[in-house]
Amino acid sequence: MNKFYCILLSFFILSCSEKPKQEAIVVNKNYAEPLIKVNKKLIEKESRDIDNWLKRHNIAAANTGTGLRFAVIKKGNGNQAKLGQFATINYSISLLDGTLCYDSKKTGPETFLIGQDHVESGLHEGIQKMQVGDKCLLIMPPHLAHGLLGDDKKIPPLSCIVYEVELLQIKDAQ
């Protein structure tokens, strides 16, 4: 397992440099195939974990192709959310083991600009599949949630998360 983290860390460090030196490109070529294999296995494991969670909870969810799983809990009848609009949501965020991390019941609804604000990329993707009044589950693998590092607070590194989200309102950006 330590070898896995060393390879993953090497990839992360090498991919963060703005102008890689020629030596870095050669190193990347040497590590490319093992990194691709490691990432593929990691994505397969995350996908199995999410599928198992869905099965345990008897939830049928669509797979969007990016790894996001999307299930409608309650259908609304408002307008469809679109890129560039402000969305106001109620939400709760949990880990697959059921640990509640965040809940808007405590903090109040959140408003963000779809496609631009700093929220999980899986939320940007999922909210565009919703219309006002919808309540949905968005199950996100780490690359659509908080990635390699988690959020330094309640979400650990490499965690799949379950977003229960209700779209309260959309408003055009002005």
pLDDT at residue 76, as a whole number: 96
Mean of the per-residue pLDDT values for the chain?
87
Taking the model in full, what pTM does it have? Answer: 0.79
Condensed to tens digits (0 to 9), the pLDDT of residues 73-114 reads 999 999 999 999 999 999 999 999 999 999 999 999 999 999
Decide if 114 contacts 127 (C-beta within 8 A): yes
Torsion from C-alpha of 101, 115, 122, 18, nearest 10 degrees:
-90
Of 141, 161, 142, the C-alpha closest to 91 is 161
Torsion from C-alpha of 86, 66, 97, 35, nearest 10 degrees:
-130
Instruction: Indicate the length of the chain as a whole number.
Output: 174
pLDDT at residue 32, as a whole number: 80
Query: Alpha carbon of 23 to those of 5, 34, 132, 148: distances in Å?
Result: 22, 18, 52, 25
> How many other C-beta atoms can be found within 10 angstroms of the C-beta atom of residue 30?
10
